[in-house]
Amino acid sequence: MTRNILLISDDGDFKGFLNIAALTLTKLNHQITITENKNDGQIDWIIIDMDTNTENNFAFIKNARQSGQNRNIKIFSVITDITNEIKEQLFEIGCDSIMTKKEFMAAANNILLF
């Protein structure tokens, strides 16, 4: 099964890490495709970095959830530091999971397999 992931991030290190994780899993016979193009066909998951373009990212998540065709897409928000206020706002607008970048990177291979 191929998993198509939309990555929204300006963090070069984070993007590089995800691409390496996807390549590793692909070598283990799991097909992971990571794109940064929002119009790149069928998307299964969205991983969105909340450290950059925060207001635009909030609006993007909200619009994705309100769109009928995107309701089943899993949305993962990653952020360097999470406050309870931001966590509540992200869950309210439709994120499925919120974690720090450190937590996400520690569990990336398991998360990408899910």
Q: pLDDT tens digits for 57-112?
A: 899 888 888 877 777 888 989 999 989 999 999 999 999 999 998 888 887 756 66
Looking at the DSSP assignment, which residues form a beta bridge with residue 76? 47, 97
Provide the residue ranges of all domains of the chain, joining segments of one domain with +: 2-113
- The CATH fold assigned to 2-113 is Rossmann fold (3.40.50)
Q: pLDDT tens digits for 21-70?
A: 777 766 666 666 777 766 666 788 888 899 887 788 899 888 888 877 77
Whether the pLDDT of residue 114 is over 60: the answer is no
